Chains A and B, each alone.
Chain A
């Protein structure tokens, strides 16, 4: 049995090597790559949006861009940065899987004197030209103001927080706190995590409704949780209880159009991608860049929802 096990391992290894070989020959052909973009994942429409923006900008400038997907694995990101440096790219854009774990990947580019800019998340070390990210804090403030306006400046509000420990959860929550402080009539009665997940948003909202009477407003740190909360609220969503989300996903925008969500704060992933290509090229020309570039977020309400599709 042991021998058979070894045979299986060997054949699995052969398959793996074949697979990797096919995978790498699939991209990287033709040479003369100008830019590299190492994405954390493409399992999420937001990052697909970044990819589209970066591709469009590179195409407009007649540049060739190599875009890789690390499948949320920081180690793969290091390998991909090594690929970029051996392709002699002018500059590399990294969308870190994790701000700490991306330091070695940035180190790879630094040693090869390839300028690096990061997108969506920062890098806690190495030399990074600039970090291009959505202004999540400002988005939180916008959400607070739009919720307060919908409530006429008075009401009892619950907050559905994102996955604890992520920068998006922290920054959006912080922005909302700051924004809501401008409205003394708004009372935040509970703040609970629902991990950016629709099903959890629904369950946590149902639980909070048991503990807190007279809730009139909800801020959810992403649209998925907002849609879950709206489901738990049933017919009072958009009526007695105003719900504001974040992200501007197609589902979220559709819900804004039909009135279940009062508003959502849309990020502009394609603009992020375009900006990243632009800043990476400036870094390659040796320009000095600000430490961070904040790409504005947009409040989507019933009035302007049509412009965002959905």
Chain B
């Protein structure tokens, strides 16, 4: 136990802050660049939800696999995917994570255990089951006990694929964790309108899985609960579900007018439910880190994002010849 109020060392806290801040700045920059028309395709921003991705991913290593969503930038950064390669990918340029041929919703980096963002809602859960099955077999052969995590939004949790995956993970007793990122809206439909049983722990219980709900804007709540569900899966305790109640600072997609939100809602969540502000206040308030140390990280991160954008803009576009490469993977 660290000699301060938190379950992580000072260096780990600073690393967590750096990752969360990187996600925030990455997304806020995309918000601007997309508005200028610099970016092809669609982007779905993760700003406001950083504590969930980072609080979970700090318990993982590269061998652990994650299956992300259409809102995947935060998962990628938290899992350790290179930020410049991501930016190039989103700009549709060569040198991107997928050589510029996937874009925002298909960023993948298997070397980091990031199996991919996914433009198909609910499609990540079966992929995570496959990765968890592979991990289970590998563990039986004496290899490290890896886990697989599927991220899904509250809206996509109504897809059959998600519910089928809960069943599959339960009957095969897979080292899988289903993380429901509940930001309250399935695109523009409020979850209490569009979800018949508005508790994801209830859904897990329907398949015999334990589940836990945490405040997804509280890094330390996510970190502790994620630690337990991941430990449980790694040690043979089987699958479980983690619901993170969170807020998104931007629309479902960039350009979303967000007319479905209550008046003043966005201002309220930015002022009162900003996970980064909460985290910053906790660690500086306890005098574990100083404002100056965090400001130095802020400065570093801004530089990182600026360099990534510059590199992305300067990188070449894929050519017609690139269409036939990277189609198949050699095993």
Co-assembled chains A and B = no
